[in-house]
Amino acid sequence: MTETPVDRAHWARVAAQWTAWARAPGHDAFWAYRDALLAFIGRGEARALEVGCGEGRVSRTLKELGYHVTATDAVAELVDAAAAARSADRYAVAPAASLPFEDGSFDLIVAYNVLMDVEDVPAALVEISRVLAPGGEVVISLVHPFCDRGRFAGPEPDAPFVVEGSYFGRERFEGSEERGGLTMEFAGWSQPLEAYAEALTRAGLAITGLREPVPQVTADDDSRQKWTRLPLFLWLKARRLA
């Protein structure tokens, strides 16, 4: 999931935490968006690469959609967890900025909530562009850059969203969440949407689709009702410029 020695060390240390957190059904936000993500990606039988596979749940989703999946992550412990769950067809321990594949190897490349954990996003996207086949597509999920810079003032579904400081610039973040008896320590980088768009352009990739998905929530799920008012995630599709 990560690139720098500091980030790799963090995610290696919390790999077991993340595996338990991510695999608990319905536990985190992924499950409220999963059906919309499947629809956004679409079915296929092409060669797919997941960059930053973590414990493998998105790779398993890609296999469910029919793709022939290669899963990579910079953290060996996470690749081992993905392989133990038979998440993909092939695996490699590799950072996003140094993928061990030939040019044009994949028709679909998915980077799900990983670019926030990459210090050098432009280098990662150049490498992703390199291994993308002509006519291929990149699918990117980000924690929405706007919501990343603020917080809800309280737990109520109608609590106001407060931005403290500036939306602009690039910042390191670290934090811990506890829910359902599980604890997860997060760390990574926050930067505005413009920075991602500029990095895509520099990598020769053009945005062809954008979604700010709304979660599937029940009427009594107060903890997620607020995300029907403000986007938690930003999804992008991109193709190589002609």
Superfamily name and number for 5-144+192-240: Vaccinia Virus protein VP39 (3.40.50.150)
Give the other-Cβ count within 10 Å of 205's Cβ.
24
Structure-block tokens of residue 45: 């039988």
What is residue 2's predicted lDDT score, i.e. its pLDDT?
Answer: 43
- How much is the pLDDT for 179? 86
Q: Could you tell me the two tokens for 198?
A: 């500029």
Task: Look at residue 1 in the predicted model and tell me its pLDDT.
Answer: 44
Stated pTM of the model: 0.94
Please report, in tens digits, the pLDDT of each residue of the chain (242 residues total).
445 677 788 899 999 999 999 999 888 999 999 999 999 999 999 999 999 999 999 999 999 999 999 999 999 999 999 999 999 999 999 999 999 999 999 999 999 999 999 989 999 999 999 999 999 999 999 999 999 899 999 988 899 999 988 999 999 988 899 988 999 999 999 999 999 999 999 999 999 999 999 999 887 777 789 999 999 999 999 999 97
- The DSSP line for 8-62 is HHHHHHTHHHHHHHHHSTT-STHHHHHHHHHHHH----SEEEEES-TTSHHHHHH
Query: What are the residue boundaries of the structural domains of the chain, listed by start?
Result: 5-144+192-240
Residue appearing with tokens 């413009």: 194
